[in-house]
Structure 1
Amino acid sequence: MASLQERLDRAPGSSNSYFRAKAQCWLDAAQQARQAHDQWGFVEEAIGQAATITIGVERGTPLSAANPALRTVSTVRPDLWAIVNAIKADPAVAQCPQAQLPLACAEVELMQAGHDAWIRSFASAEKRLPEVKDKLRKSAETAVQCKQGHVGIGTCTCLGVAGKSTANHYAAHGFAVPFQRRLDIAAWTAPTRRCGERS
C-alpha cells in the first residue's frame, strides 16, 4: 500500500481532482479496514480500486466515474446515490476540482457503508452517513460558487453521468438546499456537456 501511495503522490494533476481524490479515498478506506482487522476482502478490493485509478491517472487513459459492484459491498441508501449522480451531472462540477474532492470521497464512504451493511454492521454504516451528506452538500455548494466565479475553475473532468435535478433530490431527502435562492435551478437539470464544448 505504501508503494501505491507513493505512485499516487507522484501522479500528474491536482490532488483535488476527481480521480486522484477518489484513489486517495480508496487508499484511506483500505487503511481503515486493515486497522480494523477486516478479514472479509474489502481491504484488497479497496486497494484494487485505488490501483486501477492510479494507473489510469499515470497513463492518462480514460477512466470511468462509475462505481463498480464489489463482492463485499451491498448497495445502501439509493437516495444518496441519486444525489451523487445528480451532482456528477452538473456541468459546473466537471470544471471545479474543489467540488470534485468531496464528491469522490462521499462515493467511497457510501461504498464503505455498503461494506458495513454487507458484514451486518448496520450501526457502523449509519455512523458514516452524516459525513457523506456533509460532503455531498459541500460539493454541490462549491460547484455553485465555481459557477458564480467565487472559486477558481480548473481543468474539465468528464464524469459521464446522465442528468438529474440536484435540487429536487436534496429537497426530497431532507436537504435544505441553502443555495436555491441564488441558483438557477434549471442549470442543475441540464445534461452533462462534453469536455471541450462551450456552455
Structure 2
Amino acid sequence: MRLILPTAIAAVLSLAGSAFAADVALRPEGERTSDAAIHADHGAYAGVQQRIHALNEGGRPVRDYHLSKAQCWLDVSFHEYTRNDRSDFTQAALDESVKLVVAMEAKAEPLPMDTPLVNDAARLRPDLWERFGALKQNTGFRCAQQLVACGEVELVHAGNEYNQQQWRHAKPYVQIAEENLAQATAAAEACLTPPVAPVAPVAPVRVERIVLNASALFRFDRSAEADLLPQGRAELDALAAKLGDAYASVESIALVGHTDRLGSEAYNDRLSQARADTVKAYLQGKGIAAEITAIGRGEAVPVKDCPGGDVATRALTECLQPNRRVEVTITGTPREHAAD
C-alpha cells in the first residue's frame, strides 16, 4: 500500500468528507420535532453503519483500532441522539466516525491515533488516558485495539456529560472506560508470547458473551434470590452447567446488570447492581470458583430505543424489554481446545 503523508490524509478527508457530508449532517436542533426529520437522521446513521460494515466485509477486522473507533463514535453519537442531547456532541461524534470511515475507504496511511475531545469535552481521569496511551505502545496492543479505541471514546463521552450535567451523569461512562481498560490490559498481556520455545501448545482463551433476559430471571421490579422465577433458576443452572461442561478452565466471569429507563436513574442503578450481585451469588452457590465481578449500569447503556414518555404502559414496557438484562462475559479455555 502506498504511504500517504499526514498532510495528504487531511486532503483526502477534506475531499471525501465534503462529498459525504450531506448524507451525515443531522437535522438542526430545532428541526428534530417531526417524524420525517427523525427518520432522516436515523437514515444518516444507518448509512454510516453500512459503510463500516462494508469496510469489515472488505477485509478490515472488527478488532481493528480505527474500525472500532469509527463504530464507537457512531454508537455514542446515536446513544446521545436518542437521549435527546441538544448539544453539538451528537454531530461532532458522528463527524469523527465519518472522518475515519472516509480515510479507511481511501486506504489512507498512517491513520490518526489520537482521540479528540469533541464539543470541548472535559478531560476526565488523566490516569485512564495515560494507561490507554501506554497500551498503544504495548506489544500486545494488537489484541486490545477494540477495547482501547472504545474506552477512549467513552472517556470523551463522559467528559461531555460532565460539562452538561456534572459527575453523576459522567460516572457510568467512566465506569465503562475502566472496564474496557481492565479487559484491554488483560488482553494485551494474554497476547504476549514468552521469549522461550514453547514445550506444548497453548490452549486458546475464548471470550464468550451471553445475555440473560432480566424479565425472565426475576419477578417484576425485584432482585433477590428469592425473587428468581423458575425459568430464571433454570437458565442460571444451565449457565453453571455450561461453565463446567464446556470449559476446561474459566479465568473470569463479568456480570453487568442493565435496566430500562422507567423509574429514577438512582433506583435503576441500585436495581441493576442488586440483580448482578444476585446472579453472582447464585453461581458461586453452584460451586463456580472463578473470579466473578458484578457491576450495575442502570439505564445508561440501552440496546433499544422506544418512543413514549416515562409512563409504564404495557406497550412501552414490552418495547423496552431488551434493555432489562444481565450481560455475562466468560473468559476461559474451551474444553475442546484444552491441552492434553
Could you say what secondary structure the match of 1:71 adopts? helix
Matches within 5 A, 1:36-75: 36-62=83-109, 63-75=111-123
Match in the other structure for 2:151: 106
Q: 1:91 to 1:2 in 2, by over 3 A?
A: same
Instruction: After TM superposition, give the deviation of residue 73 of structure 1 in Å.
Output: 1.1
Match in the other structure for 1:181: none
- Percent identity over the alignment is 26
Instruction: Give structure 2 stretches of 5+ with no counterpart.
Output: 1-44, 194-201, 206-340
Alignment deviations for residues 25-73 of structure 1 (CA, whole Å, 9 cap, x no partner)? 0110011000010011100001000001111111111211101232341
Alignment deviations for residues 153-182 of structure 1 (CA, whole Å, 9 cap, x no partner)? xxxxxxxxxxxxxxxxxxxxxxxxxxxxxx
Name the CA distance, whole Å, in 2 between partners of 1:143 and 1:151.
14
AA at the equivalent of 2:174: L
Name the CA distance, whole Å, in 1 between partners of 2:165 and 2:138.
34
Instruction: After TM superposition, give the deviation of residue 80 of structure 1 in Å.
Output: 0.9
Using structure 1 for the length normalisation, give the TM-score. 0.70
Matches within 5 A, 1:1-199: 1-11=45-55, 12=58, 13-62=60-109, 63-93=111-141, 96=142, 98-148=143-193
Larger radius of gyration: 2
Instruction: Give structure 1 stretches of 5+ with no counterpart.
Output: 153-199
Q: 1:129 to 1:27 in 2, by over 3 A?
A: same
Aligned length: 150
Bigger relative CO (Cα 8 Å, ≥ 6 apart):
1
Match in the other structure for 1:187: none
Name the CA distance, whole Å, in 2 between partners of 1:52 and 1:127.
27
Alignment deviations for residues 98-142 of structure 1 (CA, whole Å, 9 cap, x no partner)? 411111110010010010111133201112222211111111111
Could you say what secondary structure the match of 2:61 adopts? coil
Using structure 2 for the length normalisation, give the TM-score. 0.42
AA at the equivalent of 2:134: A
Match in the other structure for 1:182: none
